[in-house]
């Protein structure tokens, strides 16, 4: 059986865990936590990074920092994981769900403005499959209406926006590490939220990170991160006493989790090189069938790169997707659909409002993810491609 995903040890993760245990410092904000945070700050130019136990926690921290209150509205794509909306629902926000773009599952930037009201406080673009949303348009709307931009970059580690943002009014963008106007995802906007779940390119089982890009939020972010206390400042000798001064929670991962993550980050380049090779193999092998109109394949806009987080097909009908999934399973290959529409969920269907989300529902019904992970071999990808080809050969 070719699994859909399989987490891998890619470097010195187990040795670093042993080091963390031997050091006697296995709680949060220890040496490995700080190494991981510096890695992202130095490599990508994020203003401040804080490891969390999940991307959900990172989003919840961002919602607190954004001071979202009951009655505020937050614009969120309906085709995303529940955490993207849940973080703001917990603050009492009313979620305004946006449709996907016609050519990819990201939020349709052309239709965001029609959703903005006097109650809107934030836009939450989700960089699906590590491919950037149209951030020039998102930032322009945020500037026009005085909104916060909270990027859900759960799938977007080491992926970039490639259009020119030199005229952006957000000064911290100038600090982002870029080559030929490539801006790292998660750094465009006030906050960026990352996941290191076992299904992600870089993983530690369960983990996440909040990138705070606007310096005005840095001090409070660290306080919220440390259960509403000034513990981090106290440990650095910047405060004379350690006390409770704000809301917060225990958002820190353990030193053991951070040690595993550091072992992965050291191998980021080789992990990305491997995944991109497999992604290209899929694209080259299945591209001809897509050109015949048998299914859609990932489209990377001119303003984006991809990080080979995911490879998917968009089938012509929901029934065809179900049949293809069954055929792959019978052939010893696991595949997966993806999100259900959040606006149509049992929790939110009676709370939602707005126009019908046609493109979102199309991806809900037709998108099919194929196996893609570090330990996958070129021979296995060839087998998956051959099986997909055989399915469409059988059906004409």
pLDDT tens-place string over residues 374-393 = 999 999 999 999 999 999 99
Backbone angles phi, psi at 394, to 5 degrees: -65, -35
CA–CA gap between residue 68 and residue 19 (Å, rounded): 40
Query: What was the pLDDT predicted at 178?
Result: 66
Q: Which pTM value belongs to this model?
A: 0.96
Q: Give the CA angle between residues 90, 94, 99 to the nearest 5°.
A: 115
Taking CA 242 as the corner, what is the angle to CA 241 and CA 248, rounded to the nearest 5 degrees? 145
Per-residue pLDDT, averaged over 134-156, amounts to 96
Domain ranges of the chain: 13-265, 269-395
Q: What is the mean pLDDT of residues 160-170?
A: 82
- The pLDDT of residue 203: 98
pLDDT score of 396 more than 50: no
Question: How confident is residue 354, by pLDDT bands cut at 50, 70 and 90?
Answer: low
Q: Is the per-residue pLDDT at 17 higher than 60?
A: yes
Tally of CA atoms within 13 A in the half-sphere of 219 that contains its CB: 8
Average of per-residue pLDDT across 158-171: 84
pLDDT value, residue 217: 97
Query: Could you read off the pLDDT of 56-76 as tens digits, one per residue?
Result: 999 999 999 999 999 999 999
Cα distance between residue 40 and residue 314, in whole Å: 33
**286-298, pLDDT tens digit by residue?**
999 999 999 999 9
Res. 171: pLDDT tops 80? no
Q: How is the chain split among helix, strand and coil, in percent rounded to 5?
A: 40, 15, 45
Q: Report the alpha-carbon distance of residue 364 to residue 77 in Å, rounded.
A: 13
Whole-number pLDDT of residue 60: 98
Indicate whether 111 pLDDT > 50.
yes
pLDDT for residue 355 is more than 70: no
Percent of the chain with pLDDT over 70: 97
What pLDDT does 395 receive? 47
* Phi, psi for 251 (deg, rounded to 5): -90, -5
Q: Percent of the chain scored above 90 by pLDDT? A: 87
pLDDT of residue 232: 86
Helix (H, G, I), strand (E, B) or coil at 222: helix
Say yes or no to pLDDT of 307 above 60: yes
Q: Which fold has domain 269-395?
A: 3.90.1150
Looking at every residue in the chain, the average pLDDT score rounds to 94
Rounded to an integer, the average pLDDT of 313-335 is 98
Query: Helical H runs in the chain?
Result: 13-23, 31-44, 55-65, 82-89, 135-145, 218-225, 231-235, 255-265, 268-291, 318-330, 358-366, 378-395
Residue 192 has pLDDT above 80, yes or no: yes
Q: What is the mean pLDDT of residues 121-136?
A: 97
Architecture field, domain 13-265: 3-Layer(aba) Sandwich (3.40)
């Amino acid at each position: 059986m070719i699994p859909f995903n399989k987490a891998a040890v890619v470097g010195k993760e187990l040795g670093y865990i042993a080091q963390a245990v031997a050091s006697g410092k296995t709680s949060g904000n220890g040496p490995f936590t700080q190494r991981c945070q510096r890695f992202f700050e130095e490599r990508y130019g994020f203003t401040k990074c804080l490891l969390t136990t999940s991307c959900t926690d990172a989003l919840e921290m961002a919602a607190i920092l954004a001071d979202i209150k009951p009655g505020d509205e937050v614009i969120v794509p309906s085709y995303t994981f529940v955490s993207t909306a849940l973080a703001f629902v917990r603050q009492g926000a009313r979620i305004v769900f946006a449709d996907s773009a016609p050519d990819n599952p990201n939020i349709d930037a052309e239709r965001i403005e029609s959703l903005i009201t006097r109650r809107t406080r934030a836009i939450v673009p989700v960089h699906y499959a590590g491919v950037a949303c149209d951030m020039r348009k998102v930032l322009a709307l945020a500037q026009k209406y005085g909104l916060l931009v909270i990027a859900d970059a759960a799938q977007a580690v080491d992926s970039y926006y490639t259009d020119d943002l030199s005229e952006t009014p957000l000064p911290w963008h100038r600090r982002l590490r870029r080559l030929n106007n490539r801006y790292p995802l998660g750094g465009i906007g006030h906050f960026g939220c990352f996941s290191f779940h076992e299904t992600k390119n870089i993983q530690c089982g369960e983990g996440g990170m909040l990138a705070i890009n606007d310096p005005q939020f840095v001090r409070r972010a660290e306080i919220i991160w440390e259960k509403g206390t000034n513990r981090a400042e106290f440990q650095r000798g910047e405060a004379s006493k350690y006390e409770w001064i704000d809301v917060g929670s225990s958002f820190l991962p353990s030193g053991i989790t951070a040690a595993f993550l550091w072992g992965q980050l050291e191998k980021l380049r080789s992990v990305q090189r491997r995944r991109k090779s497999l992604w290209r193999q899929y694209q080259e092998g299945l591209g001809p069938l897509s050109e015949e109109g048998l299914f859609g394949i990932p489209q990377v806009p001119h303003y984006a790169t991809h990080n080979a987080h995911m490879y998917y097909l968009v089938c012509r009908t929901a029934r065809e997707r179900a049949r293809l999934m069954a055929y792959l399973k019978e052939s010893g290959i696991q595949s997966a659909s993806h999100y259900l529409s959040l606006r149509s969920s049992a929790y939110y269907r009676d709370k939602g409002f707005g126009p019908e989300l046609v493109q979102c529902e199309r991806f809900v019904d037709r998108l099919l993810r194929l196996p893609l992970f570090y330990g996958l071999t070129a021979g296995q990808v060839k087998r998956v491609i051959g099986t997909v080809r055989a399915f469409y050969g059988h059906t004409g």
